[in-house]
Chains A and B, each alone.
Chain A
């Protein structure tokens, strides 16, 4: 519940956040799933809006698949409720839910050719023969499988099988499409290609996508909004920019992108300006996200690209450059503080001036506005 509030109050930088006028396609309220003693999903509440590309992001084993299976109807929540398109779905078998799934394993029917695989759902729904032919042809075209209709699945590559799975689900025009790490088994290049394709496709068909992935880059690239999960709990729900710029807690800050974290004792709080004293006496000015008490322990994070060389800023540290990694567009520097802690920073390679060399002692600086106090 708290996470949801965070979302609504966070600045919606990209404008892709929820508008109040949109219909809720999937609503999870206080959903808990236990397997015996083990809690796979704990008190999960989410509103997923119609037409949204929504991602469940988290490390392997955090309960993403379980959540998807509960929406699809393969598992029932131990506690809590799920509604799809405004209707409670408890007790409704998977074959009666207006939801289709693209499985992690594709689960293509090996005894049917591509056409019959894609037509499977329409035939079960009793759609007329001519319409089936038309819709299957269209669906195959949409996923760039035109001409493959007569092929057997065992004669298709991984990427093509993935497309069959996608067409087979989309052809039924479900209210919600669930995708469980659909690109996980593909090589990097194909994955990048299909990420863009999927995104475009989702825009075209306008169907709500609930997309599961453990790849933060993938989630950031594709999603309107992302729910970051950890050990069965949703840590934060927000659009990609908000997640990156305003991570709510240490887990999110560490999981999404790279970050530099400091911990220390809160010395002073003034509005949203928080002053922190690290264990080695360094003073850090940071921006608070929620009420925090003076004298409590706190963690702050600053993104590598928000740190610059020079002594000009709210926070200035003296460091030794340990490693310089040239990355083309930018250069990555790994610097060591006097206490041995490492700091990562990036500099764009847009200027002619060369950066510091390895072994050089320099000052680095960043602003309090870019240095967030984290929860958890």
Chain B
């Protein structure tokens, strides 16, 4: 507060200016643009006339679109849940049983990032399609006679999403479990807690920051995902992301696309706030 206050202010301005300019230009301006578009009116051949047309938002509540939005949230929530169910035991195992393999195992979790998501999604198409590897294997083993529908189902979308986003769950979980002081486990056992109680009363609550971070990191991109639903869900499992994309693409309804985007963002924000409230934001502070 004293004499060095000025120097501090200057330094703070120096440090914060680049990021402020960057975010302003590439985040805030586009966001405001989309907000303005969402009240505009789309031309027949694309383009947009600005104005105030709340109708774009009303259209979102059309049962046809509402169903897509609800499906989006259900699939995103399921993806998050499955990623958690698969990721927690794995992160736990790597942290506490991995010993000298720990770093190698965590590196393996990140291996999928080495190729683009598009390529990985297409490889699922190759695996799941009518005469793909999965069907060939099933027929070869005599489990089925004819090809079964594996692709273009919501299960296929779910599988693709879990596959893509699992690392985003495991990494923050690992980061928070890795900080865990194992002496606390001994303290719990010393005080009469069985292994199970020790986990639920001590280890798990202390890994909550990782659980919250992982859930958010999986939920948000899953809800906005459009590549995986398009490739693995086809026209039957449309998600909001693909819907928005098509509004800006083939449907040429930028105004509706913008309204959908704003709605999706608002709903996500509400969902995250609700979740953090419920799980307890106090657990997010550095334990």
Chain A residues whose CB sits within 8 angstroms of the CB of B193 once the complex forms: 95, 120, 124
Task: Tell me the A94-149 residues at the B interface (CB within 8 Å).
Answer: 94-96, 99-101, 103, 105, 107-111, 120-121, 124-125
Contact between B183 and A168 (Cβ–Cβ < 8 Å)? no
Name B191's contact: one of A105, A110, A111, A168 (CB within 8 Å): A168
Contact between A103 and B183 (Cβ–Cβ < 8 Å)? yes
Chain B residues whose CB sits within 8 angstroms of the CB of A105 once the complex forms: 181, 183
Contact between B192 and A124 (Cβ–Cβ < 8 Å)? yes
Shortest Cβ distance from residue A135 to the other chain B in the assembled complex, whole angstroms: 14
Decide yes or no whether A55 CB sits under 8 A from chain B.
Answer: no
Decide yes or no whether B145 CB sits under 8 A from chain A.
Answer: no
CA A95 to CA B185, docked complex, whole Å: 11
Contact between B191 and A93 (Cβ–Cβ < 8 Å)? no
Q: Are A95 and B194 CB-contacts (below 8 A) given A111-B206, A111-B283?
A: yes
Name B189's contact: one of A93, A108, A168 (CB within 8 Å): A93
| Number of chain B residues whose Cβ lies closer than 8 Å to a Cβ of chain A | 20
Contact between A109 and B186 (Cβ–Cβ < 8 Å)? no
Q: Which A-chain residue is minimally distant from B280 (CB atoms)?
A: A111
Contact between B205 and A111 (Cβ–Cβ < 8 Å)? yes
Contact between B192 and A125 (Cβ–Cβ < 8 Å)? yes
Contact between B186 and A74 (Cβ–Cβ < 8 Å)? yes
Known: A101-B187, A111-B283. 12 other contacts (CB 8 A): A73-B189, A95-B190, A95-B194, A99-B190, A100-B190, A105-B181, A109-B184, A111-B206, A120-B191, A121-B191, A124-B192, A172-B191
- Interchain Cβ contacts under 8 Å between A and B, 28 examples: A72-B190, A74-B189, A93-B194, A94-B189, A95-B190, A95-B192, A95-B194, A99-B190, A101-B190, A103-B190, A105-B181, A107-B183, A107-B187, A109-B184, A109-B187, A110-B184, A110-B287, A111-B202, A111-B205, A111-B287, A120-B193, A120-B201, A121-B191, A121-B192, A124-B191, A124-B197, A125-B192, A169-B191
Query: Which positions in B face A, CB cutoff 8 Å?
Result: 181, 183-184, 186-194, 197, 201-202, 205-206, 208, 283, 287
Query: Which positions in A face B, CB cutoff 8 Å?
Result: 72-74, 93-96, 99-101, 103, 105, 107-111, 120-121, 124-125, 168-169, 172
